[in-house]
Structure 1
Amino acid sequence: MFADDARMRAYEEALRRVVTPRSTVLDIGAGTGMFSFIACRLGAARVWGIEPSEAIQVARDIAAANGFGDRIRFFHGESARVELPGRADVIVSDLRGALPLLPYNIPSIIDARRRFLTPGGVLIGKRDTLWAAPVEAPGHHARFIGPWESRPFGLDLGAGLKMVTNSGHPGTSAAGPIRPLADSQCWGTIDYPAVETPDMKGEFEVAARVRGTAHGILLWFDAELADGITLSNAPGKPELVWGRNLLPLSSPVEVEAGDVFCVTLEARLVGGEYVFGWNTRVTSPDGSPKASFRQSTFHGKAITLETLRRAAEK
C-alpha cells in the first residue's frame, strides 16, 4: 500500500494540515504503521495504531528502529474491540479496497468516531463518492466469463456461469481496455463524519453515447481526504492501489447511441460480508426493451447443502 506514492503523498498532506505538537493521532488499520510514522514525523504528541493482523509486529519494530517508540503505541486487535487510554484529535484510516464498501470500513469508522474522536476532531478521509458507468470490456469478458461459456469437452457449465456472472471482477486494465459507453453516474456518497449505516443503495438512468457491446457496470470512487485533497481511481486516471470493480452483465448487450441504461445498485452488510445487487434494464430510445437482468453476489458463492444445514442448526 505504501508503494502507491500518490496515495501516500495525499495522506501526508492531509495529516500535515491538522497535526500539531499537542495532537493525539489514531491510525485505524495501521498495517505496518506508515500513517502512524508520518504523524510522528509531523510532530504529533502521541500516536496510537490499531491493527488486527500480525503485521503489527513489523510496525512495532519499525517504530523502535526509527526512534518513535516513546510516542507510538500499537494495539493488536479489531478496532471495535480495542479500548484506548483516551480520545484522539485526529483519526486517519484507509480501510478501502476497489470500493469503500469492505465489511470493516464503515462500521469501524462509525465506532471510532463515537468512542475515540474528541469533539471537533478530524477524520481523514472525509468523504467517498461512488461512481458507475456501463462499459465495454471484451478482454474482461473473455478472461472471466468466456471459459464458462465455451462448453469444453461438450460439458454444460451453466452452474459455474451463473456464479461468475454474479460476482464482481477486477476492473483494471490488466485484462484489457475498458471503454465507457455512457457518462459516469454518482450512485452514493459516504460522509464519514455523519454516516450511520454501512448499507448503500442508488439508481441512475443514462443514455449510451456511443455504439458498442455492454459487458458490465464499472464501479469506482473518488476519495476526499480533506478539503481540496482528493484521490480517484476513475477510468482514464493512473491506477491506484485500490483498483476498480466490474460487475458483469448476465450476457453482453449490443447497444446503439441513445439506448438507455436503467441501473439499480445496492450493497448490504449481511453477516460480516457485503452482498451486492445490480439490476440492469436496457431499452431503445423509444422505450422498447432490449435486455433486463437481476444479479446478486448472493448467487456468486458456491454453498453446499451440508453448509446450509449446519448453518440452520446453529
Structure 2
Amino acid sequence: MLKDEVRTLSYRQAIQNNPHLFRDKVVLDVGCGTGILCMFAARAGAKKVIGVDMSNIIDQARQIVSANGFDDTITLIKGKLEEVDLGLGPNGKVDVIVSEWMGYFLLYESMLDTVLLARDLYLAPGGIMMPDSATLYLSAIEDQDYKEEKIEFWNNVYGFDYSCIKDIALREPLVDTVELRSVVCDPAMVKQLDLLTVKKEDLSFTNEFRLRATRNDYVHAFLGWFDIGFEACHKPVRFSTGPHSRYTHWKQTVFYTPETLAVSEGDVIEGRLSCAPNTRNPRDLDITIKYRVDSTEAIEGEMQYKMS
C-alpha cells in the first residue's frame, strides 16, 4: 500500500496542503496500519492523533512513530474500534477522521462500516471526513483474448465438457489492470457516497446505468472502478482508480458476460446494477448486472456475481 503513490501522495497532499484543518485539532485514523496517515496529520499540526488498528502491524507502527519523533502527538491503539477506549473521556469527540478504507470495487472487504461507526460515535459537529466523497463507475470493454483463455477454455478441456466450471468462473469478478484502449463505452456513475451523511443501509443499492458505445466493437465484460475526493478543503484533492489513470493497487474490476455483445458507435447498453453485502459474510459482495443492448440485434441478459 505504501508503494501505491497515487493513494499515498493524494492523502499527503490533502492533509499537508490544508494545515488549517489540522492545526491544534484531534484526529482519528481508522485502520491506521503503519501509521503513515497519522504522521501526515501530526506533521500538519494536529494537537493529538489517535490511530486504531486490530492487526499486529500496529506493533511496528509504534516503532515507526517513535523513530520519527511523534511519540508525544500520536497514540496507537490495538483492537476493534467498537471495543477500545480512545482516551477521549466522557462524550469526547475528534475534529477529523482520516481512513484508507476502500476495497476492490470500492466496497469489497472495505472498512467503511467501521468508519461510519467512528463518525457516528466520535466526530464532533462540523467535523471533517477525509476522504469525504466516493464515486463508483461502470463501463464496458473488449477483452476477447483473456475471455477465451480463462472462460471459454472450460467448454472443451482435453476433449471433455467442463462447462459447469465456466459458470463458476463467469460469476467471479476479475480484479486486474485494464488498458484504456479496451474500453468501448463512455462510463456511467452507478453510486455516489457522501461520507458525512451516508448510512450503512445505503451500501446496499440498485441503480440504473446507460453506457454509450464510442466505436464499433464487441463487448465481453463490464468494468468497474471508483474515484475518491477530499472535497471539503480549501484545496480539494481527487484521485481515480479507472483505466484512464495511473496504476493503483485497487486496479479495476471486470465482470464477464456469458455472451459477446456487438455494438456500433452510438449504441446504448441500458441496465441496472445491484450491489449488497453478502448475508453470510458482509465483507463479501453480491452484485447483479442486468443489461440490454438496443442495436441491430437486441440482446439482453442478467448475471449474478460474487466477490469473495
TM-score class normalised by the smaller sequence: 0.7 to 0.9
Name the residue aligned to 1:312. none
- Mapped to 2, the partners of 1:152 and 1:141 lie a distance apart of 15
Pair 1:187-2:193 in alignment: no
**TM-score, length basis structure 1:** 0.86
Q: Which amino acid aligns with 2:13?
A: E
Do the aligned partners of 1:258 and 1:284 also contact (CA within 8 Å) in 2? Answer: no
Considering fraction of residues, name the structure with more helix. Answer: 1
Give the aligned partner of residue 153 of structure 2.
147
Structure 2: runs of 5+ lacking an equivalent: none
Letter in 2 for 1:71: T
Residue in structure 2 matching 1:126, options 101, 120, 132: 132
SS at match of 1:297: strand
Which stretch shows the higher mean deviation, 124-133 or 60-69?
60-69
Q: What letter is aligned with 1:65?
A: A
SS in 1 for 2:158: helix
Q: Is the 8 A contact 2:142 2:220 kept in 1?
A: yes
Change (3 A) 1:140 1:191: farther
| Residues 30 and 52 in structure 2, CA contact (< 8 A), matched pair in contact too | yes
Asked if residue 259 in structure 1 is aligned to residue 262 in structure 2, the reply is no
Query: What does 1:163-242 align with in structure 2 at a 5 Å threshold?
Result: 163-173=168-178, 179-196=182-199, 197=201, 198-227=203-232, 228-242=236-250
Which digits, 9 at most, give the CA deviation of each residue in 1:131-189, with x for residues without a partner?
1111112343244324323x12212111211111111102414xx66522221111110
Question: Which amino acid is the alignment partner of residue 196 of structure 2?
Answer: P
Q: Which residue in 1 is equivalent to 2:50?
A: 48
1:251-298, CA deviations, whole angstroms, 9 ceiling, x for partnerless residues? 22222234331121111013312211111222216xx52x22221125
> Paired residue for 1:27, among 18, 26, 29?
29
Whole-Å separation in 1 of the counterparts to 2:76 and 2:269: 48
In the superposition, the TM-score normalised over structure 2's length comes to 0.88
Q: Residue 237 of structure 1 aligns to which amino acid in structure 2?
A: S
Question: Deviation per CA, 1:213-236, whole angstroms, max 9, x where unpaired?
Answer: 101111111111234210012222
Aligned length: 294
Moved over 6 A (4+): none
Does the 8 Å CA contact 1:14/1:226 hold for their aligned counterparts?
no
Task: Determine the C-alpha separation between the residues in 1 that align with 2:181 and 2:171.
Answer: 19
Stretches of structure 1 lacking an aligned partner (at least 5 in a row)? 302-314
CA RMSD of aligned residues (A): 2.0
The amino acid of 1:7's aligned partner reads: R
Q: How has the CA–CA distance of structure 1 residues 104 and 81 changed in structure 2, closer, same or farther, with 3 Å as cutoff?
A: farther
